[in-house]
């Protein structure tokens, strides 16, 4: 019997998702648990597997369509069946296993996913090709905007003036990889852009009864309207909500980063690995969160929930917008562990390959705007938390020490917090303790 598969909630209260591409076309066979479609949620692109084996009779939408949780995503059956043979909810089918149970109890399911009768939970997985935004087809448009390539590959091509539409991809399904672009660059014969010939102008012959009508030519000065990406819309909604509901206060300070940068350099040299500045900043922040737990909290109505865990969000600048990747239980990890995890999360965020769990649920956030040359700023507190720390770029400046003038790398700090929870005096105490730790790393490395 033909069976409907409805879009499941793949976590964090998902209400809708956008279809990115179908991995199995209508009329093709799909096996149980085989990925059948890529969908984009608010923050991630995930592959969703089919709970049924059979012939794909119908897609629930085309690439680019937005469908709601609980709506039909897929109809699977046998070759001789039609979608009309799927039992409707009004018919009240006796076999509940033929439809996805959209009312399944979360505790019984053991996950935020919908279940199909007694079948195992439907779990979405992150795709290695999370940025592929066109359906699989042999007749892909010959345009750099429609080729299959990750953002980092597109940037490399732009930087070296390589036309991706003329590069043959060696990745899965014809995806263009970084090596493909690099090979074109190294060869010195990378394909040049081919300009489309201009169509012949259409001439109108005026008549006495019909004077010539002036024509307009599009220029670069005209306004252009472009729909924001799903991620950009999500960022906008979250920022609006935070700014509208949280009364922000921002405290600005400068810290002498001499010892911090020396420590970072010594660790990188000793262990021959990259040490992101965020790894040291997180370790310096943890003692301050212990001393002032209201900075690691959530305001829930009239109650303040001070979290036992230290799940630190790390803001990551990606080609698609700002994402916050989460280091779980940061207080249980040393600097080297934090360094490795932060590097991995950053790469995953830029490649859009992180899971929902890795992108949600932070209890405090660190944003290193110094990585893009920033200084002081007014970071917006992520909704559901009470504070965020922004770290700027360290710049050598004159500094007075006990009457003597010297030069030191000065790193700007900006701490924004929820004024409903934290008073100005408490904000000053928090950042004072943080400055002590940053100026002498031994204070937090010893813990």
C-alpha distances in Å from residue 125, one per residue of 37, 347, 427: 11, 17, 41
- Assess whether 181 and 249 both reside in one domain: no
User: Is residue 217 assigned to a domain?
Assistant: no
Does residue 223 form part of some domain?
A: no
**CATH code of residue 29:** 2.40.50.100
% pLDDT > 70, the chain? 74
**Residues 303 and 352 both lie in one domain:** yes
Instruction: Please report, for the chain, how many H helices and E strands are present, in that order.
Output: 9, 18
User: How many domains are there within the chain?
Assistant: 3
Q: 145 and 21 share a domain?
A: no
- Output the pTM of the full model: 0.58
Q: Are residues 295 and 403 in the same domain?
A: yes
Distance CA 72, CA 101 (A): 12
Burial of 318 (0-12, 13-18, 19+ CB in 10 A): middle
Within a domain: 431: yes
pLDDT digits (tens, 9 = 90+) for 61-109: 998 888 888 899 989 888 777 776 565 544 444 444 333 333 334 333 3
Domain holding 258: CATH number?
A: 3.30.559.10
Q: Which tens digit of pLDDT belongs to each residue from 347-394?
A: 998 888 888 889 889 999 999 998 888 899 999 999 999 999 999 999
User: Do 344 and 260 fall into the same domain?
Assistant: yes
**Predicted confidence (pLDDT) per residue in 118-173, tens digit:** 333 223 333 333 333 333 333 334 444 456 666 567 777 877 888 888 888 876 55
Residue 53 lies in a domain: yes
The confidence score (pLDDT) of residue 48 equals: 87
Q: Which of 197-201, 215-219, 252-256, 374-378 has the highest mean pLDDT?
A: 252-256
More confident residue, 339 or 211: 339
In the listed set 69, 95, 126, which residue is the last one of a domain according to the structure? Answer: 126
Q: Which of 43-52, 302-311, 361-370, 391-400 has the lowest mean pLDDT?
A: 43-52
Q: Are residues 407 and 314 in the same domain?
A: yes
Residues 106 and 146 in one domain: no
**Boundary residue ending a domain (146, 171, 193):** 193
**Does residue 235 share a domain with residue 160?**
no
Q: Which residues contact 97 (CB under 8 A, 6 or more apart)?
A: 116, 117, 118, 119
User: Where a domain ends, among 145, 169, 193?
Assistant: 193
Comparing C-alpha atoms, which of 72, 71, 64, 76 is closest to residue 34? 76
Q: Are residues 301 and 267 in the same domain?
A: yes
**Catalytic machinery residues:** 419
Same domain, 113 and 187: no
Structural domain includes residue 91: yes
Domain extent for 187: 137-193
- Asked if 192 and 163 touch (Cβ cutoff 8 Å), the reply is yes
Whether residues 23 and 116 share a domain: the answer is yes
Distance CA 267, CA 258 (A): 14
In a domain, 390, yes or no: yes
219 is a domain residue: no
β-bridge partners, 314: 325, 366
Q: Establish if 378 belongs to a structural domain.
A: yes
Shared-domain flag, residues 88 and 46: yes
Between strands 248-256 and 303-306, the pairing is unpaired
């Amino acid at each position: 019997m033909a069976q409907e598969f409805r879009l499941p909630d793949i976590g964090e209260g998902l209400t809708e998702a956008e279809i990115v591409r179908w991995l199995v076309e209508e009329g093709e066979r799909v096996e149980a648990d085989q990925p059948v479609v890529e969908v984009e949620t608010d923050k991630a692109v995930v592959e969703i597997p089919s709970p049924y084996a059979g012939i794909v009779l119908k897609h629930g939408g085309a690439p680019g369509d937005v469908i709601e949780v609980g709506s039909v995503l897929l109809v699977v059956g046998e070759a001789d069946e039609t979608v009309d043979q799927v039992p409707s909810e009004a018919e009240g089918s006796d076999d509940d296993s033929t439809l996805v149970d959209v009312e399944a109890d979360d505790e019984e399911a053991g996950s935020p996913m919908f279940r199909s009768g007694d079948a195992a939970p439907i779990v979405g997985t992150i795709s290695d090709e999370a940025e592929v935004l066109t359906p699989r087809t042999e007749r892909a448009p010959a345009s750099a905007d429609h080729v299959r390539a990750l953002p980092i590959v597109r940037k490399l091509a732009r930087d070296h003036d390589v036309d991706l539409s003329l590069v043959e991809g060696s990745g899965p399904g014809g995806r263009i990889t970084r090596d493909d672009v690099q090979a074109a660059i190294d060869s010195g014969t990378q394909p040049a852009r081919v300009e489309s010939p201009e169509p012949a102008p259409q001439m109108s012959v005026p008549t006495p009864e019909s004077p010539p009508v002036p024509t307009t030519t599009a220029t670069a000065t005209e306004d252009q309207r472009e729909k924001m990406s799903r991620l950009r819309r999500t960022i906008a909604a979250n920022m609006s909500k935070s700014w509208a509901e949280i009364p922000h206060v921002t405290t600005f300070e400068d810290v002498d980063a001499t010892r911090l940068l020396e420590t970072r350099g010594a660790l990188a040299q000793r262990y021959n690995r990259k040490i992101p500045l965020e790894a040291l900043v997180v370790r310096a922040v943890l003692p301050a969160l212990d001393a002032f737990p209201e900075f690691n909290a959530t305001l829930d109505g009239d109650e303040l929930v001070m979290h036992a865990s230290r799940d630190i969000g790390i803001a990551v600048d990606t080609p698609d917008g700002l994402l916050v990747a989460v280091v779980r239980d940061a207080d249980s990890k040393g600097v080297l562990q934090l360094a490795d995890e932060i590097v991995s999360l950053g790469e995953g965020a830029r490649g859009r390959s992180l899971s929902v769990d890795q992108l949600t649920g932070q209890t405090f956030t660190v944003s290193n705007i110094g990585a893009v040359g920033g200084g002081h700023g007014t970071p917006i507190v992520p909704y559901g938390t009470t504070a965020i720390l922004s770290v700027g770029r360290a710049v050598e400046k004159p500094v007075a020490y006990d009457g003597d003038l010297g030069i030191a790398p000065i790193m700007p700090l900006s701490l924004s917090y929820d004024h409903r929870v934290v008073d100005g005096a408490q904000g000053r105490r928090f950042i004072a303790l943080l400055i002590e730790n940053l100026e002498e790393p031994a204070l937090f490395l010893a813990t």
